[in-house]
Structure formats: C-alpha cells, structure tokens
Amino acid sequence: MRLKVLGSGSSGNCYLLQNKNETLILECGLPYKTILKGLNFNLSNVVGCLVTHEHKDHSKAINDVLNNSIDVYSSNGTLKAMNIESYRAKIIESEKQFKLRGFTILPFEAEHDAAEPLGFLIQHSDFGKMLFITDSYYCQYNFSKINRIMVECNYSKSILNENIESGLIHPTLANRLLKSHFSMEHVKEFLKANDLSQCREIILIHLSDSNSNAAQFKEEIEKLTGIPVYIAEKGLELELF
C-alpha cells in the first residue's frame, strides 16, 4: 500500500491510499482534473472517497467525483450543508464501522466549525491501523495499537502570536484558528494521550502557510515520540508496510 499526497493545506486537501487492486480517496478538496491525474486517469479500482466536512479545501470536487461514478462517504450534516442528494453519496455515522473492499473504516466525531465533521480510523491488511484526523481543535477519543497517524498540525501558538503582534494576521482569523484547528501543542497532547507502542510513522498534514514551521514541527514531534515524522506536501509518497 502506498500513501500519495496530492495536496495538503488551505489550498486543498486530497490523499490516496493505493495498492494494485484498490484506491481509497481521502478528501477531494482539489480540482477534479488534479485528482484524476493523481489517479493516473484510472478509476477502475477506486473503492470510494471519504470526506471529513464541507469546507471547500476538503470537498471542492465532490460533485465531479460523484458524477464520475465514485461513491462518497460522509456525514448527513456534511452532505446537507453542500446540498448533495446523489444516490452515490452515502451517509455514515460516528462510531458505526463499515467496509469498502479491503478497507474497514470507523468514523468518529471531530471538533470543527462545520456541520458534522468526522475523523476516520482506517484498517487494511496491507498497513494495519491508520488514524486520520484533520481540522479539529480537540479529539475526545483515545486510540490503541495504531500503526500510523495522519494528523493536522496547522499552526504553532508562538508563531501565530508573533504574526498577530506584527500585524500579519488579524486577531479575528487567529481566534478562528484557535477554535477550529489542531496546533502543534494540541498534537503533542493528543499523541501523549494515545497508545503509540505500535506506531511506525506520523504524517503531519494541513500545515498553515504562514503560521507553521515544518522543520520545527518534524523535529519536535520526533523528539517527543521517537517515531519517524513526515510532512504531507504535494508529491509526497510513502510505502506503507
């Protein structure tokens, strides 16, 4: 199984979990043509697309995805917020597990300024158990025996404060970030609260363009956990064993 990053951040999010027979799309917040190119123009093995919430950087291509015979799985609140009524739009619920071919997916509630946001615990025989959580300032759940974590690390409080003081970011926007996104400090506390004994990799996703420092985030999370850390950016590909 391979993780392929097509985009990560406020300009658009989309990730592919791919092996020879199956592809699962995580988020569709990029132009459909970009996603199609990332799939090598092959839709035959796509098992579905998971969408965490309705914000455009996560759902921009949802209508194109649906119109090209790909089932989309998201919460009722998310689909209603986007006025999606396609028969290919499948409503899923927090803590109700479902299967997509070789993938077993457990949705769970996330905390974000959206209608009904979700995170996902994804299992597959090729890579074990992967946690996917983005656009959330808090997670009420603890997870055990996780093999990989994809987690938002949007900003650092110290960088954000510096940008506020220098006038680079308006306090109103800063306040929204504090109430809707995972900071590096949040990520550290989240990781401490979970069982990392079997975790092989941590992938930091959705970094802010102006309020983050990728090298610093990677160094600090690796120092805290002793686990290899990768920064999700366009073009990143990881083999998952």
- Residue ranges per structural domain of the chain: 2-239
CA–CA separation, 49 and 46 (whole Å): 8
pLDDT of residue 173: 76
CA–CA separation, 197 and 184 (whole Å): 21
pLDDT of residue 204: 98
pTM of the model: 0.95
Q: Which residues of the chain have pLDDT under 50?
A: none
CATH topology of domain 2-239: Metallo-beta-lactamase; Chain A (3.60.15)
Q: What is the pLDDT of residues 125-181, one digit of tens each?
A: 999 999 999 988 889 999 999 999 999 999 998 898 888 888 888 887 777 777 778
Helix (H, G, I), strand (E, B) or coil at 202: strand
Size of the chain, expressed as the number of residues it contains: 241
pLDDT of residue 12: 97
